[in-house]
């Protein structure tokens, strides 16, 4: 009896519908306003039936991160296969990673726990600029002989910041890296960038 198959296929379909609806809502209104009732509305059911497909809301997010990792892996793999030189492969893969983060912004957010906070923090909170000025003063000092533009200094600051903040974030969402390794990454990264200032 093929009707069993048809029913199973329908079940698999609404499972996918739930995931699609969730991602749609997130793309329209952000992660904050994703609710079980809204998902149910979109798939034209009521909230409780979602629990026949997923244990809870967390399970939906988990499945979306899984889908995200699969997509990311696919993109990176394809980028890699477009090149032969190892150095080019690495660059292509990380550029694919970068592009994925912004074309699949919502997936990236749930995968790596990045909030989409307020936008113009520096404008409504001057205190947030102090660390920036503290560091850029010194960068300016070191780079003085080369007469750098404001943008040059900005680039250097964000290079420092991104590597450090990135390392911190990674360690916060999953503290898997041993501390000695972190210290080594941190120190060599900082001194590497610092060297690049007077180059």
Size of the site for DNA (CB under 7 A): 20
The partner in contact with residue 35, picked from its own copies, DNA, none with C-beta cut-offs of 5 to 8 angstroms by kind, is DNA
Comparing CA positions, the residue from 93, 70, 65, 72 lying closest to residue 81 is 93
d(CA 191, CA 189): 6
d(CA 151, CA 56): 47
Decide whether 58 or 127 has the Cβ nearer to DNA: 58
Residue from the set 21, 23, 34, 79 that interacts with DNA by CB under 7 A: 34
Give me the long-range contacts of 8-13 (CB less than 8 A, separation at least 24): 11/53
Our finding on whether 23 is near DNA (CB under 7 A) is no
Decide whether 13 or 78 has the Cβ nearer to DNA: 13
Cβ burial of 111 (10 Å; 0-12, 13-18, 19+) is buried
CB of 191 to its own copies, least distance (A): 7
The partner in contact with residue 30, picked from its own copies, DNA, none with C-beta cut-offs of 5 to 8 angstroms by kind, is none
Decide whether 51 or 158 has the Cβ nearer to DNA: 51
Our finding on whether 45 is near DNA (CB under 7 A) is yes
Q: Cα torsion for 5, 9, 14, 19, to the nearest 10°?
A: 140
CB of 60 to DNA, least distance (A): 8
- Residues within window 71-100 making contact with DNA, judged by CB under 7 A: none
In the DSSP assignment, the letter for residue 147 is: -
The partner in contact with residue 199, picked from its own copies, DNA, none with C-beta cut-offs of 5 to 8 angstroms by kind, is none
171 three-class SS: helix
User: Quick check: 26 and 67 in contact, CB under 8 A?
Assistant: no
Our finding on whether 52 is near DNA (CB under 7 A) is yes
What residue ranges bind DNA (CB under 7 A)?
1, 3, 7, 11, 33-38, 45-49, 51-52, 56-58
């Amino acid at each position: 009896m093929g009707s069993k198959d048809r029913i199973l296929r329908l079940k698999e379909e609404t499972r996918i519908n739930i995931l699609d609806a969730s991602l749609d809502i997130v793309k329209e209104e952000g992660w904050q306003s994703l609710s079980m009732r809204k998902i149910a509305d979109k798939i034209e059911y009521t909230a409780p039936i979602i629990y026949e497909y997923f244990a809870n809301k967390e399970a939906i997010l988990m499945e979306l991160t899984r889908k995200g990792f699969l997509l990311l892996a696919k993109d990176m793999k394809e980028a890699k296969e477009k090149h032969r030189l190892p150095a080019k492969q690495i660059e292509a893969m990380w550029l694919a990673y970068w592009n994925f983060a912004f074309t699949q912004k919502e997936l990236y957010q749930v995968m790596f726990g990045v909030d989409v906070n307020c936008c113009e923090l520096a404008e409504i909170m001057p205190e947030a600029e102090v660390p920036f000025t503290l560091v850029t003063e010194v960068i300016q000092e070191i780079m003085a002989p080369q007469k750098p533009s404001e943008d040059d200094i900005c680039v250097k600051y964000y290079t420092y910041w991104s590597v450090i903040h990135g390392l911190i974030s990674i360690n916060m969402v999953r503290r898997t890296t041993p501390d000695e390794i972190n210290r080594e990454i941190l120190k060599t990264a900082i001194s590497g960038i610092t060297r690049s200032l007077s180059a």
